[in-house]
Structure 1
Amino acid sequence: MGRLFRWTVRAVTAALLLALFALVFVYYLAARSLPDYSGTHPVRGISAPVEIVRDQADVPHIYGETDADVYFALGYAHAQDRLWQMIMLRRTAQGRLSEVFGERTLQIDDLMRRLDIYALAQEAVAVQDQPTREALTAYAHGVNAWLDRVNAESLGRGAPELFLFSNEIAPWVPADSLAVLKLMAVQMGSHIQSEVLRARVALAIGPERLADILPDAPGTGVAALPEYAALFNASPRDFAALAPLPATDPLSPIAPTGMGGASNAWAAAPSRSAAGGTLLANDPHLGFTAPTIWYLAHLELASGGVIGGTIPGMPVVLVGRSDAFGWGLTSSYMDDQDVFIERLNPDDPGEVLTPDGYKPLQTRASIIRVKDQPPVTIELRWSENGPVLPGNHYGLAAVTPKGHVAAIGWTMLTAQDRSMTSALHLMQSKSVAEGLRAGAAFLAPSQNITMIDANSIALKTVGAMPRRTAGHMTQGRLPAPGWEAANRWLGFEAYAANPEF
């Protein structure tokens, strides 16, 4: 009995020591992926030494001889601290989450492939101005310099999360940064969900009570909406309006329909300030995430120093201040999305009705690779109004009658997107007047910019506003027949038409 007890003690002790050794080894490997902020490191891609000084909160303060060197260092710092976050943002925009997470994220990838925002971001690189392209390129080189150092010095896998998931990392390119900005538009968009919800409620209770359940905002400025089913010569029974919505996934960039929310910003002119200067406060209410969406940084540029909130993946301070200028962002909730119900040709489901008769849909195949599963090939389709989405996205099946499909009109679904150029010009503005001019090129996601300089304050809505006809059948509040000319967009409103105070 004594011998059995001694051997049991030895076995348990050995097991505990082995487990302790395994924990120490895992900690050592994970710790190798954590950045070391001290020391000097040689890198390729900068014109002169660059200094990244971390304060007590580890906020990087970046000093370089040229703006390109500063953007390089910002990319380096972002990759040091938030590489996993950047990879996830890029994979989401590309529709490549399933390569890591398997079948669970297949529907997310299916949607992102159909929106095709990464291909649009690749094309949009060419329409940025020269300083912006240089900033994007320098930033990408900085990210890749960190990846090179991780590989050369065996610094773990670059991020602790990469010990659990695939550590295959493609080099960062300028289009990746533009794709992250377009992904923000996807994450902040809400009008597709609102149109679907309004149509479902209208089908369930009728138009008489619709205004009581979902009152129009801002109020009575919009004419009464028609009965939804009547738009398609159907009855409410022809729709699955009461069918449950598809389950959401925490990794999905699509915001679920929820309770009302808002961000905060206010500014005070010198006449209303006890100190005699302008004041600005801003609280963008973005969702809780780990890590947080924002990343504070201070950039010392040729135009002067600027400090504020960046988002890993983009070489720009999105909310912040300089010595002469400050600005904050809040969502404008501009209605920059429309759902178009397209009527299929009963003799050829590859065609949809247009004001000029039936026309073929544009199509392209796309292959989604799925971890531990065979690849999935999907057919991407576009009508003249935008990408065609299956009914399992946004709950569109509930409001799409038989013999029809749903297409999405969205201001950000274009390669002619100079939002990054606009954001960089805003960051380097020296006055409210310059800030207002900088917003002219911004496309999406639409924002209200509250801005101040030493003497004045302003608020301006930036982002493309669709130009709808006065005869639009649903005023953009409900899905509308895509074959009716009155429902189609006539381009975008002029920037001067956006609200300004």
Structure 2
Amino acid sequence: MRFFSFFLVLAIALALALAVSMPIGQIPPLAPLLDPNHGFWQNTLSEDELAVEEVDLENLSAPVQVTYDQNLIPHIFAENEADLYRAQGYVTAQHRLWQMEFQTMAAAGRVSEIVGPIALDLDRMTRRKGLAYGAELGLKYLQESDSETLALIEAYADGVNQYIAQLSDARLPVEYKILNYRPEPWSAFKTLLLLKYMSDMLVGDRDLEFSNLRKILGEAKLNRLFPQFPAANDPIIESGKVWDFEPLPVSKPDSVDYPTDAILIEPLPQPEEGTGSNNWAVAGKKTKNGNPILANDPHLSLNLPSLWYAMQLSTPSNSVKGATLPGALGVISGFNQDIAWGVTNATRDTRDWYRITFQDKSRKAYRYGNGWKDTEFRLEQIKVKGQATFVDTVVYTHYGPIVYDRSFKTERQDVDFALKWTVHQGSNEQKTFLLMNKARNHSDYNRALDHYTAPAQNFVFASRSGDIAMRIQGKFPLKWPGQGKFLMDGADPRMEWQGYIPNAQNAATLNPERGFVSSANQHPTDSTYPYYVFDNTYEHYRNRRLNNRLREMDQITVEDMKELQFDDYNLQAAEALPVLISLLGTHKADSPEADKYLKELKSWDFFADPNQKGQTLYSIWSSETFESIWRELSGARAPVVRPSSYQTVELLAKYPRDSVFDVKSVEGVETAEYHVKAGFDSLLVAMAKWEAEEGDYAWTNYKKTTIQHLVPTFKSFSATNVYTGGGSGILNATGSRHGASWRMVVELGSQMEAFGVYPGGQSGNPGSKYYGNFIPVWAKGEYLDFGLRTQGSSEAVLFTTVLK
């Protein structure tokens, strides 16, 4: 089967090269690609077919043993940390080199080097956001303050580079062959750049859109549609938590002048609503065996090669296992002999926008208070395959880079917006994971987190000694209420951040009375937390489903936690569908199709299992109804953000005659019924088309979950129409392109029991049998036994390699 896939992808690659010959600039040379000794044929071999007993690796102080289990998961046994991370770099590069380099080139704004001018705008925006600039500051921070961590990162880079130096044309990953380029040396800078890239993937802000909404709606109506706390707030840190610290004072200006003109630029891409992550830990008093159990399933884009790479990393004093991030050191989500931890996105606004007023067209100075501040210019030289280098001039203020100006996507408006972002400050996230991998207790966990800046994460923790904890960690600006919600005037010093919340005052909890800690991207706290926190993307359904189940459950087992990670119950539908049916009344009562669909909806149990038709019908009806309600708002000339699904359902259920339902373009006064009926009419149209063209509308067929190669046009390297359920706002948050990128469950007893899986495979080679072999396991909600392996164990060994 994998040979057939290679023939297909070869045809696609050649067709792609021909179709976009002008953007790419040249067709990949056919002779090297078809060469039986060096071309793509050589990528049809799996790793066990290429295994060797020994590899020469320079700069080791002692031999390193790498034992692969039957799933190609490496277990590295080294005598010290420097050897361990040098070996980790080498082994990771063996299996994920192209992915590592492609992701860091994307983070650096260098994709045009590979594919030509088609990626130029993407590269320009990436550079204007300052990801490489942030990585440069991070490297400088390590050089000045943490030479020990830097030495380990450089050891990792040395391992990667030794693999690259040994890499023959035959073993070159197939993507290099198709796209006709070769890998370049790895560096400490690239590892830091990868961590900044994760920040960009997970952070969001809506300052520009909220500024437009304030103009359109007025502040009172805006606050009603976007309340700081939902009516059913079930926060990460348990309600009623007593905050035993004196908060730092934050002063709000007596008056604030916000922009009054509409902002017409295209906002930055934002994380997709309804996706996210879950993690939790339950105390021994709620489990069958009396041991804490920890679970984590971060939800991200479903890609091949997988975002994660599973490994065990061992020295004589420590063994840690879990999900690593190819290109970074250590384990990101995992466990060792004493503790387990996991992460979810904290959805905190650490990115603010400032309107800049330049002194003149030279842009050498900008207004600040009663005077002028000098700018700096950064020339971004973007190499473009097949064309001349493109030079983009980016102006830097003390806030950060001018992302939007007349030279970039602001043709409709003369604006200059600077981005202030914690990513542009020197930080040392890598040290957090190096320390966490060796942590033994709650104090060690806290010490590790003190080094963590961005992206903001909810770190769950459990230990064999019985502790469970949650800490929301990042470098969070001190803001007065409302600050950063709207675009700010960069000329006004009162708009500055007033410092940062101390690490010790970040929201956290240890061993709460309820017997569990959990996060699902919801609001971090209740209203008693003394610092201002706002985000319009907080989750309102997964978190309540999770917490309700954890409150109900007792005598919990690992199997219970696995089932909860794969839970398909749609709480939004359970709350919204009865409201929709009630408001629909007898509309279309004489339609046989309407009757059929309503019967299916009324008999549905609200589980988004793959064979369910009710989930498909609800998904279409609710989305069409919400679209009808907010169409006029979304159709405004200036970009805006819509109220959340939770707030929309609240309005439908409690205030069906609210003025928000009126449609100005329609005669009379419209209520919620108008939109529910319009949404149902749209459902009938959509279903008639679907049944005529596609037939079966079971949820899995409608959703079409796809695990896509990082180059979307390489379709034969992707897994399409994966049979699985779940969806947005559901604990099993598996949509068409997003879902659980990694699932882990660990019971912390005298012997650690651990289970994990991710939607992909260990190999980055599409021709390998280990490329996507985890996908069927993941899709069914099953797991691999993920226990720690001892050196010398012969159970389920695929092969062993000694680095010496």
Give the shorter-chain TM-score range. Answer: 0.7 to 0.9
| Aligned residue identity for 1:207 | E
Cα offset, 1:167, TM superposition: 2.8
**Is the CA contact (8 Å cut-off) linking 1:33 and 1:160 kept in structure 2?**
no
The residue number in structure 2 matching 1:16 is none
Cα offset, 1:143, TM superposition: 0.7
| Aligned residue identity for 2:469 | A
Q: In 2, distance between residues paired with 1:328 and 1:361?
A: 41
Instruction: Give the 5 Å matches for 1:100-111.
Output: 100-111=114-125
Q: Secondary structure at the match of 2:312?
A: strand
The equivalent position to 1:481 in structure 2, one of 489, 500, 523, is 489
**Is the CA contact (8 Å cut-off) linking 1:467 and 1:493 kept in structure 2?**
yes
The equivalent position to 1:458 in structure 2, one of 455, 469, 485, is 469
Deviations 1:468-501 (Å, cap 9, x if unpaired)? 3x3x7x4211111112122101332211121011
Q: In 2, distance between residues paired with 1:380 and 1:74?
A: 37
**Is the CA contact (8 Å cut-off) linking 1:111 and 1:393 kept in structure 2?**
no
Q: In 2, distance between residues paired with 1:34 and 1:200?
A: 54
**Is the CA contact (8 Å cut-off) linking 1:432 and 1:453 kept in structure 2?**
yes
Q: Secondary structure at the match of 1:70?
A: helix
Q: In 1, distance between residues paired with 2:253 and 2:386?
A: 49
| 2:159 is the alignment partner of 1:142 | yes
**Farther off after superposition, 108-117 or 347-356:** 347-356
The equivalent position to 1:196 in structure 2, one of 208, 217, 220, is 208
**Is the CA contact (8 Å cut-off) linking 2:313 and 2:330 kept in structure 1?**
no
The equivalent position to 1:179 in structure 2, one of 181, 193, 197, is 193
Q: Secondary structure at the match of 1:284?
A: strand
Deviations 1:83-135 (Å, cap 9, x if unpaired)? 11111122122221111111121122212323123433432331463442232
Q: In 2, distance between residues paired with 1:394 and 1:125?
A: 33
| 2:341 is the alignment partner of 1:327 | yes
Taking only aligned residues, the RMSD between alpha carbons, in angstroms, comes to 3.1
| Aligned residue identity for 1:187 | M
Deviations 1:368-421 (Å, cap 9, x if unpaired)? 1111111111112111211111259998888xx74x41001111102x211111
Distance 1:227 1:389, change over 3 A: farther
| Aligned residue identity for 1:376 | F
**Farther off after superposition, 324-333 or 40-49:** 40-49
Distance 1:389 1:446, change over 3 A: same
The residue number in structure 1 matching 2:614 is none
Q: In 1, distance between residues paired with 2:298 and 2:63?
A: 35
The residue number in structure 2 matching 1:40 is 54
Deviations 1:330-382 (Å, cap 9, x if unpaired)? 11112211111112225754321112412221112221111111111111211
**Is the CA contact (8 Å cut-off) linking 1:390 and 1:396 kept in structure 2?**
yes
Distance 1:32 1:277, change over 3 A: closer
Deviations 1:197-222 (Å, cap 9, x if unpaired)? 222333344434323544435689xx
**Is the CA contact (8 Å cut-off) linking 1:296 and 1:310 kept in structure 2?**
yes
| 2:509 is the alignment partner of 1:492 | no
Distance 1:308 1:359, change over 3 A: same
Q: Extract unaligned runs of 5+ from structure 2.
A: 1-30, 234-251, 510-804
**Is the CA contact (8 Å cut-off) linking 2:284 and 2:290 kept in structure 1?**
yes
Instruction: Give the 5 Å matches for 1:62-461.
Output: 62-114=76-128, 115=130, 116-127=133-144, 129-151=146-168, 154-157=169-172, 159-191=173-205, 194-217=206-229, 231-232=258-259, 234-236=260-262, 239-240=263-264, 245=266, 255-256=269-270, 258-346=272-360, 349-390=363-404, 402=414, 404-414=415-425, 416-454=426-464, 455-461=466-472
**Farther off after superposition, 25-34 or 204-213:** 25-34
Q: Secondary structure at the match of 2:416?
A: strand
Asked which structure has the greater RCO (Cα within 8 Å, sep 6+), the reply is: 2
| Aligned residue identity for 1:169 | P
Query: Structure 2 length as normaliser, TM-score?
Result: 0.53
Q: In 2, distance between residues paired with 1:333 and 1:24?
A: 50
Q: Secondary structure at the match of 1:281?
A: strand
Deviations 1:423-453 (Å, cap 9, x if unpaired)? 2111210111210121111111111100011
| Aligned residue identity for 1:364 | R
**Is the CA contact (8 Å cut-off) linking 2:363 and 2:375 kept in structure 1?**
no
**Farther off after superposition, 479-488 or 386-395:** 386-395
Query: Structure 1 length as normaliser, TM-score?
Result: 0.83
Distance 1:256 1:227, change over 3 A: farther
Q: In 1, distance between residues paired with 2:174 and 2:253?
A: 53
**Is the CA contact (8 Å cut-off) linking 1:331 and 1:447 kept in structure 2?**
yes
Distance 1:429 1:97, change over 3 A: same
Cα offset, 1:39, TM superposition: 2.4
Q: In 2, distance between residues paired with 1:206 and 1:30?
A: 60
Q: In 2, distance between residues paired with 1:128 and 1:165?
A: 40
**Is the CA contact (8 Å cut-off) linking 2:428 and 2:453 kept in structure 1?**
yes
| 2:57 is the alignment partner of 1:30 | no
Distance 1:437 1:185, change over 3 A: same
| Aligned residue identity for 1:417 | S
Q: Give me the identity figure in percent.
A: 26
Deviations 1:287-345 (Å, cap 9, x if unpaired)? 11111111110001243100001010001201000110100101111221111111222
Q: In 2, distance between residues paired with 1:217 and 1:337?
A: 21
Distance 1:200 1:396, change over 3 A: farther
**Farther off after superposition, 305-314 or 281-290:** 281-290
Q: In 2, distance between residues paired with 1:466 and 1:496?
A: 14
Q: In 2, distance between residues paired with 1:195 and 1:169?
A: 39
Q: In 1, distance between residues paired with 2:477 and 2:230?
A: 17
Q: Extract unaligned runs of 5+ from structure 1.
A: 1-18, 247-253
